[in-house]
Structure 1
Amino acid sequence: MRPLRLALLIALIVAATACRSGNVKPDIAPVANVDVPRFMGDWYVIAHIPSYPEREAYAAVESYALRPDGRIQTTFRFRKGSLDGPRKTMRPIGTVRPDSNGAVWDMQFVWPIQAEYVIVYLDEDYRQTIVGRSKRDYVWLMARTPDIPDTDYRARIRQIEALGYDVSKIRRVPH
């Protein structure tokens, strides 16, 4: 009887969450087009609203590589707690959504759960990017180098705020 009650409780929580309409935000707009092969390589996380595993990340680097099956092998490396902290690595798989011009991916950390990953800003030289989510819960400002000019940093933070994020939650990642 207990498993049945637990299943019913979980179903009610999921239903209540799905029916919530008070804080629904419109989908976040992706950039018009991403040349996915050009996007591959190393991206330093400059700042973010971190997910739980990232909240103590230092020297964070996200690397992308195209797999033969067309999906994207992602390797997220960081040091936990300090620049001298233990190395941590995560390896989610990205799948570019059809009809998104390369700008919307599904990232799978654990099967079968996939997380939305939207490239909302990408400079023409593929040197800086902002990746967000329609929920406005997490965001990543990344660059091809571990540091960007302060003027660029401030401009990207303004862009993140304009997307509907609470920028007081942004954490600058030490490198």
Structure 2
Amino acid sequence: MKEISLKHALKYILGLSLVLFFVGCSTKHAYLPTNKSVDLNSYKGTWYEVARFEHFFEKGCKNVTATYNLRNDEKIDVINRCTKIEDEKKKEAKGIAYAVDSTNSKLKVSFFRPFYGDYWIIDVDKNYKVALVGSPSREYLWILSREKTIDEKTKQRLLLKAESFGFDVDKFIWTIQE
């Protein structure tokens, strides 16, 4: 009888250890909510970058834009453009994106296929004039606008939302738009 109890105890300890291992290896961030739905026809077009978390393509850039065009195969062409601050050289990166689910708020984007990254539309206003976009890892975050600037009230609303979702808003670089 003791042998059976010991076997059960070992199975229980092993099971608990596996659960703790996988919980410990999971992301340190809670789930990232996204916009309930995104109308890609309204989202398409050119967006000005108001702010970003730094990453290699846009390092040292100003006048950053992202243009989205819908394709017939339900994918999205993506063109990111910027001007290097130090020498005024223009850069362009072309990519492709697709919606992960029917909400169209979670996209996978690739500029270097076959590698895709998360592009989650966290917030977009009803007129598709301002958007907050990020990744569930909290490594990437952008404030985008149809205009080169946004008003202070909108800026504060987006900063509060981003911060409430675990983004370190102090990492924002405020993009120069001329």
Q: TM-score range by the shorter chain?
A: 0.7 to 0.9
Tell me the residue number matched to 1:126: 128
1:166 to 154, 157, 168: 168
Tell me the residue number matched to 1:11: none
| Contact 1:28-1:132 within 8 A present in 2 as well | no
Secondary structure of the equivalent of 1:91? strand
Secondary structure of the equivalent of 2:25? coil
Secondary structure of the equivalent of 1:105? strand
Structure 2, unmatched stretches of 5+, are 1-21
Counterpart check, 1:41 vs 2:29 = no
**Aligned counterparts of 1:20 and 1:42: Cα–Cα separation in 2:** 41
Tell me the residue number matched to 1:143: 145
**Aligned counterparts of 1:146 and 1:155: Cα–Cα separation in 2:** 18
Q: In the comparison of the two structures, how many residue pairs are matched? A: 156
2:34 to 30, 51, 58: 30
Secondary structure of the equivalent of 1:32? coil
Secondary structure of the equivalent of 1:107? strand
| Contact 2:27-2:137 within 8 A present in 1 as well | no
| Contact 1:49-1:137 within 8 A present in 2 as well | yes
1:79 to 59, 72, 83: 83
Tell me the residue number matched to 2:15: none
How far off is 1:56 after superposition? Answer: 1.3
| Contact 1:120-1:129 within 8 A present in 2 as well | yes
**Aligned counterparts of 1:32 and 1:57: Cα–Cα separation in 2:** 32
Q: Kindly provide the CA deviation profile for residues 77-132 of structure 1, in whole angstroms up to 9, marking residues without a partner as x.
A: 100125x6100001110111133x11000001111111011000010111000001
Scaled by the length of structure 1, the TM-score of the pair is 0.83
Secondary structure of the equivalent of 1:58? strand
Tell me the residue number matched to 1:157: 159
Tell me the residue number matched to 2:58: 54
How far off is 1:28 after superposition? Answer: 1.1
Tell me the residue number matched to 1:4: none
Residue identity matched to 2:167:
Y
Residue identity matched to 1:155:
R
| Superposition RMSD in Å | 1.8
Residue identity matched to 2:91:
K
